[in-house]
Chains A and B, each alone.
Chain A
Amino acid sequence: MAEIRKSEGFIDWLDQRLAVKAFMRVMMTEYWIPKNINFLWAMGVVLVILFGVLLVTGLLLLMYYKPDINLAFDSVNYTIMQEVEYGWLWRHMHGVAASATFLIIYIHLFTGIYYGSYKKGREMIWITGMVLFIAFSAEAFSGYMLPWGQMSYWAAQVITNLFSGIPVIGDDVVIWIRGDYVVADATLTRFFMLHVVLLPLVIIVVIAVHFYSLRFPHVNNQDSVEFDFDAESKKFLDGDKKESKVVPFWPVFLSKDFFVVGFFMTIFFALVCYHFDFAMDPINFEPANSMKTPAHIYPEWYFLWNYEVLRGFFFDIGGMAAMDIGLIAFVIANIVFMILPFLDRNPMNTAPAHKRPIFKYWFWLLVCDMIVLTVYGKLPPTGMNAWVGFVAAVIFLGLFIALPFITKHEAKGDEQ
């Protein structure tokens, strides 16, 4: 053990026992961030704040929520909304933050794609980020079910039924996941466990890994220029702050982040106080009824693109059942972003999309296609809508099939 001397103060006392000064240097004051990045790089910190909001409001809701099919609906819609002081605030903050988290995740994700931040040494950041996306999706889905409303009940019924697509054991797996032949009390209590304990733990661990993986290849920048972080940070420490291309995470970079967070939180609380229902479905204010399906089922807005890929294939092709094609497409849609670093075959070019000759069209086509999928995911799948959904789903898959060829071609152009 190191020699412990009489401390000069509280921080020094802690430093002798936990090395807090070294920790702060590595994590904050000497964690270097490039100067040439824009507000889109603040989305990570916005997400951290949102996750904090979800955690704290979740704890407050947890004190009154009852995970029982006979009590759940009223514990949310009566006890929390009417009786608990400020219960409405926690609920609306929790609900709006869930939606906002996905909005910011999508911005975060498309920023990464646009600036090529998934490439060349940053694969682990990208993959852990996509693991987080999947964990958040599971968290959102399990939480959506808890108020036991009509739409959340049927969403749970439909999503758990997806597992029946697994060959041979599918139907048994569905019963196993639900703990009953239909979505019932056993399903509610286990989803409750997932939502409040297991998945938040997983998310916290993966967030830690995501941050850790960011410390080595460093943050990408707007112009994708490579520079020597050691040399640049030395300049900064030597007092040449103007010449240096980097700033420390704390306090310089975070001060800019806090501005973005402040701006975002203004909008967030405007939504919470005046438009808390923008992400809430009226059908979910009817108690769940296992004997009656709502006329039209659709998920929350952030899963619509995925949902439309699932149901886009509505006719059999070459002896394959429409349902199986849809399921396969759905599974591909869920994992294809994760392997993006390996689909982009242009190793040289980490430039932002607007500087890449072909990739820029690919990127904007992807964004447009996902917007189309999202819009049509909410519309009834009949007549013309079904065909638009089909074409958009095919384009979505096609884009990812084409990506390796496009980027390979692009790479050849770069060499010339």
Chain B
Amino acid sequence: MATCQKRRDFIGMALTGVTAVGGVCALGAMKKSWDPLPSVQSAGFVTVDISTIQEGEARSFQWRGKPIFVLRKSADTPKNAKRDVVIGEKIFTLVIGLCTHLGCIPSYDAKKKSFICACHGGVFDASGINTFGPPPRPLDIPPFKISGETLVLGEEGEEYKKLIAKKA
């Protein structure tokens, strides 16, 4: 009788063990099914020409489905050495155009020299620093590389690494 009970316990535990391992693996597989597809992940690199942007003009480009703002600062726009992208004599602000609060797209108000997000009233200055409202941090800077007057978005160039280093 005792051996029989032991044998049953063993079968019970073995069954539980196999089920548990299978269950965990299945959960892992389900989690992976929800991950972005390889084709989405590789939609990485975009080249944009910024040579035609006028002083004080903000233009937006699309990268990974996200808007990228490139603002060419005019002479009277406050500079920010920690965030400015300098190409020759031109000074640019280069940011991902999604409010760091909940991801709406702010619009650039040339008169107030700030990015204003209407959704929750967030305001960022011309360098993308949050100055009012709920956004918790400045607008993010996308990885970029400078070649001449074109930008390669998605590639981490020297200038990008310098900007990131300055932040830290």
Seen from chain A, the residues whose Cβ lies within 8 Å of a Cβ on chain B are 154, 157-158, 161-162, 164, 175-182, 184, 186, 190, 290-297, 311, 313-314, 321-324, 326, 380-382, 386
Contact = CB atoms under 8 A, between A and B. Distances in A.
B29 interface: no
B148 interface: no
B136 A324 contact: yes
A180 B36 contact: yes
Nearest to A182: B65
Contact of B65 (A158, A176, A184, A322): A184
A314 B133 CA distance: 5
Contacts of A290: 62, 65, 67
B64 A182 contact: yes
B31 to A, nearest CB: 8
Contacts of A175: 36
Contacts of B136: 321-324
A291 B62 contact: yes
Contacts of B26: none
A190 B34 contact: yes
Given A176-B34, A290-B67, A291-B67, 14 more contacts: A157-B104, A161-B102, A179-B37, A180-B65, A181-B64, A182-B66, A190-B34, A293-B107, A296-B118, A297-B119, A314-B121, A322-B133, A323-B135, A326-B134
A181 B66 contact: yes
A323 B134 contact: yes
B28 to A, nearest CB: 13
Given A157-B103, A161-B102, A293-B119, A181 B34 contact: no
Nearest to B40: A180
B76 interface: no
Nearest to A298: B119
A164 B102 CA distance: 8
A324 to B, nearest CB: 7
Contacts of B66: 181-182
A17 to B, nearest CB: 34
B65 A181 contact: yes
Given A162-B102, A290-B65, A323-B136, A184 B118 contact: no
Given A177-B34, A179-B40, A291 B60 contact: yes
A176 B121 contact: no
B138 to A, nearest CB: 13
B158 interface: no
B120 interface: yes
Most buried by A among B35, B40, B67, B119: B119
B105 interface: yes
Most buried by A among B35, B102, B136: B102
B68 to A, nearest CB: 10
Nearest to A313: B134
A27 B106 CA distance: 56
Given A162-B102, A175-B36, A293-B105, A314 B120 contact: yes
A286 B105 CA distance: 17
B143 to A, nearest CB: 13
Contacts of A297: 104, 118-119
B101 interface: yes
